[in-house]
Amino acid sequence: MLALLSPGQGAQTPGFLEPWLEHADIRARLRWYSAVVGRDLIALGTTGSAEEIRDTATCQPLLVATALAVGHQIVDGSPSAIGLLAGHSVGELAVAALSGALTDEAALTLVRERGEAMAEASAVEPTGMSAVLGGDPDVVIAAIESAGLFVANRNGAGQIVAAGELTRLAALPAALDGVARVMPLQVAGAFHTSFMSSARKRLADIAAAAPVIDPRTRVVSNADGAIVSDGRDLLRRLVEQVAAPVRWDACLDTLAARDIQAVVELPPAGTLSALIKRALPGVETLKLRGPQDLDAARALLELHGSGTTAHAPSWRVVVAPSAGTLTLAAVVLDSVSPGVCIARLESRSGVIDVVSPHGGVLVEWLASDGDPVKPGQPLARMHPGGAEL
């Protein structure tokens, strides 16, 4: 069985997107995703400075958009062959979309709001995160909590992440002297702790009407390592995760229990593969660094693919990529091919095409011509039939 993994914040490096732009479909998707999130993701991933792409509101959409653009090159060809999908922190939004539970546009809308909300929460008071490497986990956790800090991530393979006020983090190395090594992380806040409560509430308000269906591929949850098959439960977990610890150690346990033989890590790849090698040394890993690695990923999928699916959705929805006034396109819509413009949104900032990411039969319009719509609002319901999917 093969698992497809999506990394989280901190995996990015300046210029990491450059090699992927040689792939025409990936470049086209990134242009579209840039329109959805309102940021030039191509520029950020190629010429953006380390400081620019470290910014939470920028980094999170960039990571999810990249994982989606590359992930579709693997998943779309044979979604049933992927055994498990797992994402670390914000990477969970990417795998939720790749599983079919969310549309790409819904995932990108949520990550845009998530990043902005977490950046705002981080600005309230000086907080941060530090990785604690090595040591007995029980001793490390006790020291973190005694220092008035939170255990934000349990990553397994001898890595635990502490989070909280910067002054308390500064004292942590002395508290763990001779026990474990402490390394400050280049993030702007105490993510996955109660410091993010306001961000969780904002995301919950937005996600309440997010279009979601049951995933087609098994998704492993950061909350507890459980395999989630209910779309609404998956969305609830994505919201709660903003202010709750990441249990990547539990995800690793699930991969081991499911006898995962190989993992493919989406870009910017490296962080999760390193954890897999330490925690699950017998598992083959492939880090996707550029288009030249896609054939190797497909070969691994053919070798280790499960050939089963958890769920097959009977319909999909197309959602609004931004706010604006809706104009329905004057085209025949009974059988829609992927990438066809089915409507347009007009706002003060210009006109944006609403493109169907999936083929099928347009069953029902969920909004009318001339309606004002909001980002992420469902516009049309489609049945996956009658067109090449």
pLDDT in tens, 348-380: 888 998 988 777 777 778 889 999 998 888 888
Q: Do domains 2-121+194-304 and 127-184 have the same CATH topology?
A: no
- Whole-structure pTM value: 0.78
Tokens of 110: 């949520």
CB neighbours of 110 closer than 8 A, spacing ≥ 6? 93, 102, 203, 206, 207, 210, 238, 376
| Residue 72 among the catalytic residues | no
Domain 127-184 has CATH 3.50.50.60: no
Residue 138's pLDDT is 95
In contact, 367 and 326? CB cutoff 8 Å:
yes
- The DSSP bridge partners found for residue 382 are 316, 362
Strand 262-265 and strand 284-287: pairing? parallel
In contact, 159 and 248? CB cutoff 8 Å:
no
In contact, 282 and 117? CB cutoff 8 Å:
no
Q: Mind giving me the DSSP string for 8-42?
A: -TT---TTTTGGGGGSHHHHHHHHHHHHHHTS-HH
State the Cα–Cα distance between residues 356 and 316, nearest whole angstrom: 10
Domain 316-383 has CATH 2.40.10.220: no
Strand 84-87 and strand 227-228: pairing? unpaired
Distances in Å between the Cα of 10 and the Cα atoms of 126, 185, 186 are 18, 8, 7
- The answer to which of 155-169, 313-327, 365-379 has the lowest mean pLDDT is 313-327
> Tokens 């939170």 sit at which residue?
150
Is the per-residue pLDDT at 78 higher than 50? Answer: yes
What is the domain partition of the chain in residue ranges?
2-121+194-304, 127-184, 316-383
| Residue 347 among the catalytic residues | no
> Tokens 């499960």 sit at which residue?
306
pLDDT in tens, 4-40: 999 999 899 999 999 999 999 999 999 999 999 999 9
Measured from the Cβ of residue 139, the count of other Cβ atoms closer than 10 Å reads 12
Choosing from 6, 34, 89, 99, the catalytic residue is: 89
Query: What's the CATH number of domain 2-121+194-304, 3.40.366.10, 3.30.9.10, 3.40.190.10, 3.40.50.920?
Result: 3.40.366.10
State the Cα–Cα distance between residues 272 and 217, nearest whole angstrom: 20
Instruction: Work out the average pLDDT over 211-221.
Output: 93
In contact, 389 and 314? CB cutoff 8 Å:
no
DSSP state of 375: T
**Reduced 3-state DSSP string for 246-269:** ECHHHHHHHHHHCCCCEEEECCCC
Choosing from 72, 192, 304, 358, the catalytic residue is: 192
Length of the chain: 389
